[in-house]
Structure 1
Amino acid sequence: MHTDLVAALDIGGTKIAGALVGGDGSLRVRAQRPTPAREGAEAVMGAVDEVLGELMASPLWSAARSVGIGSAGPVDAAAGTVSPVNVPGWRAFPLVERVHKTADGLPVALVGDGVAMTAAEHWLGAARGHDNALCLVVSTGVGGGLVLDGTPRPGPSGNAGHIGHISVDLDGELCPCGARGCVEGIASGPNIARRALENGWRPGPDGDVTAAAVAVAARAGDPVAIASYERAARALAAGIAATATLADLDIAVVGGGVAGAGDVLFDPLRRSLREYATLSYLRRLTVAPAVMGTDAGLVGAAAAAIALRR
């Protein structure tokens, strides 16, 4: 008899990944499909069913006791629905009900991808041992999640800790969410690149205009590229400081593609954080890069599934 396992799904705009996960967070069986994000709702669900089908074909499936889903958001955990910005075919899509049906009636837990990454970093990663933490995903968007009193706290809708839409510039640009001066509008990868281009940065011969290319230029001393990352770092620092001031946190863990810039991001982030997080109880606040990498979504979804069984 196998020890109990959980099934985990990590659903994003590019890929749908699945795994059977042990109680120690080890990924025993994996499956993956590209997300048919430009197709209709049923085509996307078909890819989810294929991933689940591959997991269910494993002899280990009989040990699975629940399913955890970490999905691009927004999610509505109370309703069991998802409306991922980058999957237009899914709007208020009843994902929990559909996965429950496909997965032989196993109980299903749903969290947003920022909350999943947070649960993973707290369980096995950079926030391990910290009872009060904010974990951020800085990539195409900026998401996040909170750990309070030793437990990930997704909130009733599953979106608590969504730092990307804290306003850090009252008169700033209009954000697609409807607010102004959001962290995401300054610190996300596409916005780092856009700001650099607007201020005169030019890509190299390969024509790469991503935030990663801007990071390479910043590392080589390009002042416009450096300034774009410093602006992003200030926005992140202001959002982290506001959240830490509110919730009395001791660590912020930063992951996602933009964190791959390394010191180009983290040096000005730590510098700016000292300017914004000034109260005495925030002096212990540290910043660390995430360590769980691309498996964070699956490990975090598994953590949600395990919590369901307690």
Structure 2
Amino acid sequence: MFGLRTTLGSLFKSSKIDESWFDTLEESLIQSDVGIATTEQLISKLRRAAKSEKASSSEELKTLLIQEVDLLLKAIEPSPNPLFSNEKVNSPEIWLVVGVNGAGKTTTIGKLCWLFQSQGKSVLLAAGDTFRAAARNQLQEWGARNQVDVITQEGGDVAAVAHDAIHAAISRKNDILIIDTAGRLATQDNLMEELKKVKRVIGKALPGAPHHTLLVLDGNTGQNGLNQVKAFHSALGLTGIIVTKLDGTAKGGVICALAHTLQEVPKPAVLALGKGEGIADLVPFTAKQYSYELFN
């Protein structure tokens, strides 16, 4: 699953547990994007747990470390997970999707579309990336693939697209409306202000919306991913995160850093992980499963 598995897997096969072993574990966790502060906390807790449990073998330490990571990640585990629920939603339920360029946002929307339809929900898409014709075309391709309509405007304003799409979703009685937005860096103040405007327009068009504000985060971005989450959360009040590109090359530890570093309450939950290019390659995030896969 992750690039760090081989390193950590072999580390826990070692029979000799000494300071050098702990140093190697610390280095491996940092290289996996867990981050220095998070790694130091985990190592400290592992040492205390090992002492209190009188654990001496690497297998025992692995079990204790998995427990510590599981406990850490519980803070960003959704309960319940709104993506993987078959419950009837208050139609239309509005999902605003944001992120930087190249994170896999449009592909993720295609997967979300398929996921919601598999739950028997009717979906409408809005092409809010009005900067790039290629982005609109890509979203329309996903719409055609899922047999879902896409609301779009040539050179229109993203807020206008969102406004029109909401009224279309209401008139068509769609269960879900997913609004795409142009990729932007968190440091681009004018573009972040545009997102704030879009969210205000959505709220005026349908009070209480957007019901979910979702950040698509590239799992390979490492510690820079923390800055993205903080900036988008500060601007928009994120309710969820999907971490993409966790299919063999990503290190994956950034999710641990997110759980440790984000101080906001409520914290945005990690709803799902993208593990491939296939339309069904979106899996729910659970702290227990993720913790186990990191070290096995």
- Settle same-fold status: TM greater than 0.5: no
Bigger Rg over Cα: 2
Relative to the length of structure 1, the TM-score reads 0.27
Higher relative CO (CA 8 A, sep ≥ 6), structure 1 or 2? 2
Which structure's residues are more often helix, by fraction? 2
Relative to the length of structure 2, the TM-score reads 0.28
